[in-house]
Structure 1
């Protein structure tokens, strides 16, 4: 439900959801230029400390506003009329510098819009700027050699993770109600979980993605809404989804219409997602409370762990990312390694060293994981887990040094998100409570490929069930 105010009152524009802004703009109660100005002022206020948003082009914003005014004058009522959006700095946005967080693209100006950006404009959204990212969106910490480090909105000594950290922080700090990220392994679920907002990874093929930079690997990464509410994520998904002949992956694919009541669904919860990984006690407690709230709300939720292929974990999949980076940027790295983030440079170096057999083994692991997820969803309609096994950590390191009292590798914070990318399945992170130092914890809800609307419906119920938890923590 929109929280737009009634006619004749002055709404708190920053507090409005996307539907509320669009409704006011379409009804003439708000001028889209005033909306943009208020959020631009918010960026000016918060961004110097947080370092989340760049490429703020007033001339391009004015051009978007002029186009929207003309459409409204013709009687059009676009779905996202006048709604400000931040776009991740890896997604082509015509006329703007899109760097991928890389020195190689510091001066690159996108010649056209990505299809998702094209659809945002068609829906009447106003693009305010680009959200910071890790280099090539391939690191779980949002920092790069072009723009530097993005900081957590609740504590600037912490990180919101990566790679869509700029977008998640921008939404959490009230710089825009919507952001468009990408998700190739959890990049638009983990940062929202750490920042206390919503991050939705749709099914592969739901949103076209055929215009822009080449991906390090295909069939896994998707365009991903990052929003303050589940309703806004669904609204954004409606604006972006649907087939496009430029992207064959979208042709013949359709999101399933599922009208079954949520209380009739078979829902599993898995505290460790069937993996032998540590979880911090505060996250485990928040997850247990969230599951109890959902059971009290009438959902049939039972403990069940996915069964994964022997020896399969995220480490078994990483050669795919490494060789993808090496294929795209290996020659540039050989010419000048100093241009690259050292952590990304190490990935490229590893990619150049993997054998063909090792890469084939990683591809087989990806396929096997997809089959395991599909098999699980023949028994259950949805699966619940924590989005991350820890809350936000210090921003001077790749990951927490310990989780659950155990010394861990830097990627241990990412354990619960990547497998749903390899399964091409939808998954959403919604705030479900807080852990240590009142830092946000996210609940991940996943379903079989094509069940995007079911996942969103469950997330709406979860958001309502957790409202009092989040209110008391605020």
Structure 2
């Protein structure tokens, strides 16, 4: 398998200048995807449609049109509508579903000249922390096929890390497009809720938490994709205006929280790696204080999980009652739990979610950026929902996900940058969080931090 050497920016410049064509670029991407079938990062391809779309981009260029993503091959996660493509959510219920139209974000990418070359694997309904489905099987880690890239955007993240495409689009309702990038060594950005219009598409089980999330090898490509996809649209009542950049990063108040103020386990290689990162950034002139958010009593992921379970039950409970075997067993258990939650249980989870958001809001009155680990561990065996142990403690199946879900409940922007690896070369990430609406400031800061970590 030959990896592309160019970023999305470089590909667009080459295609626009006529040094290559969108069709040639698409053919090369399709060949890389075919050569990497064992990775199982891309679950659907449509070469005829892709090459026709690429030819249309070339024709637009000949007609004098300027496109910031001219000919850039992109993979879209299998829960985001791409008009005319099979989009399944990794579910047998949608095995033959053809999206009737593009999601707004996909429409904007295509208008900018991007060419969809495949659909990236997701866990069923994007509701697991590993990327596996009954339809397509497991997605493998690009550095070790015996390991998982995490989930649920494991397909898009693995595709970028393997060099199949320079840019992929995932979703993030609890860390799904930050943790997999951290595990495979690329960057993943969760925008503020509403920064990028969401839908049209499938009904969401996550109740105002999920966002469209670009994944790329570097922050500059993520920022380019964000600017193309962001902005209000009358079709999405939650779409929001995002502030312009603040001043240089040296003028920002930056905090580091080694465990996000939570009593959670972290592997030594990650904990020590993050301390080393903070030391490097401090030596580069950044003033970084040690400070934890203060959480309300009982603030845990368990307290908010009834929202996911109830959402899945509301959407798919009837199908579950007819035939539970249609579902991934873990998703079936989540639906079953959702059917058992009372209205009081769900209301309690909503109250816990709001309390987490208010705690984060109070924290960001005192700081501008928060640095934390993205993940507490490196990737684990493909056959397991999570590692057996983290930081010397027995680990629950969701212990690997501790640093990301609260950010979604506060609707904040956050990005994961690769920042180190263990002795076997398995990566982990630095998560940078900002207050809601400060996406551009966060991306600017991330570019500067990325340069210091290079």
With structure 2 as the length reference, what TM-score do the two structures score? 0.98
Task: Give the Cα separation in 1 of the matches to 2:310 and 2:316.
Answer: 10
- CA shift, 1:67, in A, is 1.8
- Aligned counterpart for 1:92 among listed residues 51, 62, 81: 81
Q: Give deviations 1:396-447, integer Å, cap 9, x for gaps.
A: 0100111000012100000000111011100000000112411101000000
- Aligned counterpart for 2:33 among listed residues 43, 49, 69: 43
Aligned pair in 2 of structure 1 residues 191, 13: CA closer, same or farther (>3 Å)?
A: closer
Task: Give the Cα separation in 2 of the matches to 1:434 and 1:54.
Answer: 28
For the residue of structure 2 that corresponds to 1:97, the secondary structure is coil
Task: Give the Cα separation in 1 of the matches to 2:292 and 2:423.
Answer: 26
For the residue of structure 2 that corresponds to 1:459, the secondary structure is helix
Structure 2 counterpart of 1:416? 403
Task: Give the Cα separation in 2 of the matches to 1:182 and 1:210.
Answer: 11
- Aligned counterpart for 1:27 among listed residues 10, 13, 17: 17
Q: Tell whether 2:284 aligns with 1:289.
A: no
CA contact (8 A) 2:80 2:199 kept: no
- CA shift, 1:52, in A, is 0.8
- Aligned counterpart for 1:226 among listed residues 176, 197, 215: 215
Task: Give the Cα separation in 2 of the matches to 1:87 and 1:65.
Answer: 16
Structure 2 counterpart of 1:271? 258
For the residue of structure 2 that corresponds to 1:441, the secondary structure is strand
Task: Give the Cα separation in 1 of the matches to 2:411 and 2:417.
Answer: 19
- Aligned counterpart for 1:166 among listed residues 145, 155, 159: 155
Task: Give the Cα separation in 2 of the matches to 1:62 and 1:44.
Answer: 15
- CA shift, 1:55, in A, is 1.6
CA contact (8 A) 1:394 1:400 kept: yes
- Aligned counterpart for 1:352 among listed residues 327, 339, 342: 339
Structure 1 unmatched ranges of 5 or more: 1-11, 468-474
Give runs of aligned pairs for residues 19-418 of structure 1, distance below 5 A. Answer: 19-47=9-37, 49-250=38-239, 253-418=240-405
Task: Give the Cα separation in 2 of the matches to 1:313 and 1:294.
Answer: 30
- CA shift, 1:297, in A, is 1.8
RMSD over aligned CA atoms reads: 1.0
For the residue of structure 1 that corresponds to 2:20, the secondary structure is coil
Task: Give the Cα separation in 2 of the matches to 1:117 and 1:447.
Answer: 25
- CA shift, 1:54, in A, is 2.0
For the residue of structure 2 that corresponds to 1:249, the secondary structure is coil
The total of aligned residue pairs comes to 453
- CA shift, 1:377, in A, is 0.4
- CA shift, 1:63, in A, is 2.1
For the residue of structure 2 that corresponds to 1:226, the secondary structure is strand
- Aligned counterpart for 2:441 among listed residues 446, 454, 461: 454
- CA shift, 1:345, in A, is 0.3
Structure 2 unmatched ranges of 5 or more: none
Q: Give deviations 1:260-302, integer Å, cap 9, x for gaps.
A: 1111110000000000000000000111111111112211111
Task: Give the Cα separation in 2 of the matches to 1:157 and 1:353.
Answer: 36
Task: Give the Cα separation in 1 of the matches to 2:332 and 2:369.
Answer: 38
Q: Give every structure 1 segment of 4 or more consecutive aligned residues whose post-TM-superposition deviation is greater than 6 Å.
A: none
Structure 2 counterpart of 1:16? 6
- CA shift, 1:13, in A, is 8.0
CA contact (8 A) 1:85 1:126 kept: yes
- CA shift, 1:75, in A, is 0.8
Task: Give the Cα separation in 2 of the matches to 1:59 and 1:306.
Answer: 51
- CA shift, 1:455, in A, is 1.0
Structure 2 counterpart of 1:6? none
CA contact (8 A) 2:417 2:429 kept: yes
CA contact (8 A) 1:264 1:300 kept: no
